Amino acid sequence: MSEPNESNREHWRERSQTWAKSAPQGKTQDDTFNQMIIAEAGIRPGEAVLDIATGTGNPAVSIALSMDGQGSVTCCDLEPAMLETARGRAVNLSIPIMRFAAGDMTRLPFADNTFDCVTCRFGLMFPEDKVSAAREVLRVLKPGGRVAYVVWDTYENNPPFIVPRRAVADFFGEKDGPPPSRHSMSAPGILRGILDGAGFLRTEERELRYKNRVEDPKEYVSKGLKRSFTKKVEGLAPDRLAALEEAVLKAWQPYMEGAILQVPNCARLGLGWKAA
């Protein structure tokens, strides 16, 4: 991948400001995917772990908490402002084993054979040359090390995206538009093919599913609108914003079980090992 153009950098700068406002200050409330990554990658205390496209600290914070103060977890993200939020979480949770480094996943700022495990949650969808990005991971892994990539499954299989997006579009009288690029790797076999092409061994790919149990749907909707539809909601009058929130809550009704909102999530996991 060539150096990210300014429009991409500006996109992530804007997202970092929004995400910083809505990111947890300590542990994440919805930790299921993070715990799946830890289990599937077999991460153990004492290892050197690199988390790429770490954003505001997922799954890096959860990984570090699982390691009982042994080893290290290095957070790497293209946008330094994202890392500041992750660093704040590490400070609040008193996690001394976390490290931070800004960098492009296609040109990682680390020496060869440095890490036992590399994780990347919802980041591989974005570089143009995904095989080259995976080769960079292979380079920085120690012999016998492994990578765990998680990418989103189809748009239709992920109500957290499709439900509010369609409700917001309907509210403003707009069209929903094509599925976002975050779902571009949803077809089975794409992720494993990238790992194979990069030179990983013993590659695997499988589906990950779970339901996020939301006890306060109104707060969930309010935070989601502010985080994902910032430009749509920041100038709305209070009564108009309240009407939008009600419209999105209504769209979530099929997923309500009593007073609890059960939000299905679906992703794809790819695992690969470097030759020993």
Residue 94 inside a domain? The answer is yes
Which pLDDT tens digit goes with each residue over 154-208?
Answer: 999 999 999 999 999 999 999 988 999 999 999 999 999 999 999 999 999 999 9
pLDDT band at 11 (very low <50, low <70, confident <90, very high): low
pLDDT at residue 14 tops 70: no
Which pLDDT tens digit goes with each residue over 112-142?
Answer: 999 999 999 999 999 999 999 999 999 999 9
CB 4 within 8 A of CB 107: no
Computed on alpha carbons and rounded to an integer, the radius of gyration of the chain in Å comes to 19
Residue 247 inside a domain? The answer is no
Residue 161 inside a domain? The answer is no
Mean pLDDT of 32-36: 95
Residue 175 inside a domain? The answer is no
C-alpha 91/C-alpha 93 separation (Å) is 5
C-alpha 42/C-alpha 209 separation (Å) is 19
Residue 84 inside a domain? The answer is yes
In three-state form (DSSP H/G/I as H, E/B as E, the rest C), the secondary structure along the chain is CCCCCHHHHHHHHHHHHHHHHHCCCCCCCCCHHHHHHHHHHCCCCCCEEEEECCCCCCCHHHHHHCCCCCCEEEEEECCHHHHHHHHHHHHHCCCCCEEEEECECCECCCCCCCEEEEEEECCCCCCCCHHHHHHHHHHHEEEEEEEEEEEECCCCCCHHHHHHHHHHHHHCCCCCCCCCHHHCCCCCCHHHHHHHHHCCEEEEEEEEEEEEEECCHHHHHHHHHHHHCHHHHCCCCHHHHHHHHHHHHHHCHHHEECCEEEEEEEEEEEEEECCC
C-alpha 61/C-alpha 90 separation (Å) is 7
Q: Write out the two tokens for 33.
A: 């995917």
Angle among Cα 35, 119, 66 to the nearest 5 degrees reads 40
The pTM of the whole model exceeds 0.75: yes
CB 163 within 8 A of CB 265: no
Residue in 146, 139, 159, 152 with CA at minimum distance from that of residue 190 = 152
Name the residue range of residue 19's domain. Answer: 6-154+181-209+266-273
CB 73 within 8 A of CB 96: no
Can you give the CATH number for the domain in which 188 is found? 3.40.50.150
Mean per-residue pLDDT over the chain, rounded: 92
Residue 235 inside a domain? The answer is no
Q: How many domains does the chain have?
A: 1
pLDDT at residue 9 tops 90: no
C-alpha 76/C-alpha 57 separation (Å) is 9
Residue 234 inside a domain? The answer is no
Percent share of the chain, pLDDT over 70: 91
Pairing outcome for strands 260-273 and 256-257? antiparallel
pLDDT at residue 7 tops 50: no
What are the Cα distances from residue 198, in Å, to 108, 203, 215, 272? 15, 11, 42, 10
Which pLDDT tens digit goes with each residue over 54-99?
Answer: 999 999 999 999 999 999 999 999 989 889 999 999 999 999 999 9
Q: What is the CA 98 to chain-centroid distance, rounded? A: 18
Q: Write out the two tokens for 134.
A: 């995976």
C-alpha 155/C-alpha 29 separation (Å) is 23
Mean pLDDT of 9-25: 59
Residue 42 inside a domain? The answer is yes
